[in-house]
Structure 1
Amino acid sequence: MNTIKTLALLAVACNAHAACPTWPAAQRFELHDDQVIDLRSGLVWQRCSAGQTWNGSTCTGTATTHTHADALGLARQANPGNNPSGWRLPQVKELASLLDMGCRLPAIDASVFPATPQDKAWSSTPFAQRPNIAWTVDFADSYVQNQTGIGNPLYVRLVRSAR
C-alpha cells in the first residue's frame, strides 16, 4: 500500500513539474541580443543554432547540420585567436544543462533559444571507448546519447566562458 501511494505521489509530482519552461527565464538567463548568459553556470551561449541569425526578436534562417569535425571547425572559425574565453563546442554536461525536462519538441526554453531544432546537437566530448563516437544532446526528447558516429550531420550551438 505504501509503495502504491509513493508511486502515485511521484506521478503527481512529475506532472506538476510539466510546465514549460520549468524555471522563469529571468531567474535563469540574462539575455543580450544574440547571446545568453546562463546565470547558473556563468556560461555564455549563442542564442541561435549554427546557420541561423538573430534578427532582434528571434532566430531566422535554417539551422545547419555538420559532422563532428565540421562542428569543431565552426568553433575554431568563431574563435580565430584560440582565445580561452572564446567560442567553442560545449562539453556534454554543459550542453545537457540547457535541457528543460518540462519542455518537449524542443526540450529547451524556446523563449530564450527560439527555433531550436528538435533533434540532436554535438558536444565536444568524445566517447572514451570508441574514438569514432561523440556525446550528443537530443533537444526533441531531452536525452544524452553516446552512440552517435562523428561522421553524422547534427546541429551545433556554441558556448564560451564569461569574460
Structure 2
Amino acid sequence: MHTPALLLRTLPALALGCAALGARAAAPEGWIVSPDGTWVVDERARLAWARCVEGMRWTGSTCAGQPELFTHGEAQARARQRGQAEGLRWRLPRVPELKRLAAQQAVPLPGAPQQWHWTGTASVNAARVNPYAYDNVARGGMGESRLSAPQGWAVDMGSGEARGDVGRGARLPLRLVRPAP
C-alpha cells in the first residue's frame, strides 16, 4: 500500500512517462516525437528533424505561421545560427535524407508546405577552360578547371522529386535536421 506522500512524489514521473508514451504513440513505427513535440526522430536514419519548417512554430497540435523563404546562402547561415543558439548541430539535409522524409507520408509533420525545400547537397558545375584561347591564357587559365556553384539541390516535399539545377538565389522553405540524441 502506498502512502499519500509517496503517491504525490510518483505522480509527476508517471504523468511525464504517459506524455512520452503518448508522443511515441502519435508517431508511426520507427519515428519518435520529442516530449515537447518540436522535433521527430527517424530511428532508422538516426536523424532528428525539426517538426516545423523555419518560420513556423509548434503550437502543441500543429505548425502555425508562415514558412520563411531563404536563398541557399541564407539557409546555411540559419542552420549555423540555430546551431549556435541551441548548442546543437542543426544542418541542411542531404538529398536522400529529405527524399526519405518526403516519402514518409505518415510522419507527423502537420502544416508542412508541399513545395521545394533546400538541401545541403553540393552542386558543382565545372567549366573547362580552353588553354588555346588567348583570352583564357591572358587571364591565367592554363587548362585548369574553374569551379562554380550557381545552383543547388532541392527536394519537392509533395512528390519527392530532387533537382540539382535550382538557382541558389531562389527563395525556398527550409527544414533543418541534426543527429538524433
TM-score scaled to structure 2, two decimals? 0.67
Taking a change above 3 Å as real, the CA distance of residues 81 and 54 of structure 1, as seen in their structure-2 partners, is closer
1: CA distance, partners of 2:85 / 2:59: 27
For residue 27 of structure 1, what is the amino acid of its counterpart? E
Taking a change above 3 Å as real, the CA distance of residues 58 and 81 of structure 1, as seen in their structure-2 partners, is closer
Give the paired residue count: 132
For residue 124 of structure 1, what is the amino acid of its counterpart? G
2: CA distance, partners of 1:81 / 1:116: 24
Give the superposed CA RMSD: 2.0
1: CA distance, partners of 2:107 / 2:41: 14
Match of 1:88 in 2: 91
Match of 2:170 in 1: 152
Match of 1:37 in 2: 41
Stretches of 4+ aligned residues off by more than 6 angstroms: none
Q: Deviation per CA, 1:9-50: give whole Å up to 9, x if none.
A: xxxxxxxxxxxxxxx942131111101000110100000001
Q: Which of residues 95, 102, 123 is equivalent to 1:99?
A: 102
1:120–1:154 contact (8 Å) kept in structure 2: yes
Q: Percent identity?
A: 35
2:93–2:177 contact (8 Å) kept in structure 1: yes
Match of 2:121 in 1: 125
Q: Which of residues 55, 59, 70 is equivalent to 1:55?
A: 59
Say if 2:46 is the partner of 1:28.
no
1: CA distance, partners of 2:52 / 2:95: 18
Q: Return the offset for 1:109.
A: 2.7
1:44–1:160 contact (8 Å) kept in structure 2: yes
TM-score scaled to structure 1, two decimals? 0.74
Q: Return the offset for 1:128.
A: 2.4
Q: Return the offset for 1:115.
A: 0.9
2:102–2:158 contact (8 Å) kept in structure 1: no
Q: Compare the two structures and name the one with the higher helix fraction.
A: 2
Q: Deviation per CA, 1:46-77: give whole Å up to 9, x if none.
A: 00001000011110101111100010011011
1: CA distance, partners of 2:107 / 2:63: 11
Segments of 5+ residues of structure 2 without an aligned counterpart are 1-25, 126-147
Segments of 5+ residues of structure 1 without an aligned counterpart are 1-23, 101-107
2:28–2:106 contact (8 Å) kept in structure 1: no
SS in structure 2 at match of 1:98 = helix
Q: Deviation per CA, 1:103-143: give whole Å up to 9, x if none.
A: xxxxx536611111121000011212251111110012220
2: CA distance, partners of 1:55 / 1:146: 34
Q: Deviation per CA, 1:81-124: give whole Å up to 9, x if none.
A: 796x5111111121111122xxxxxxx53661111112100001
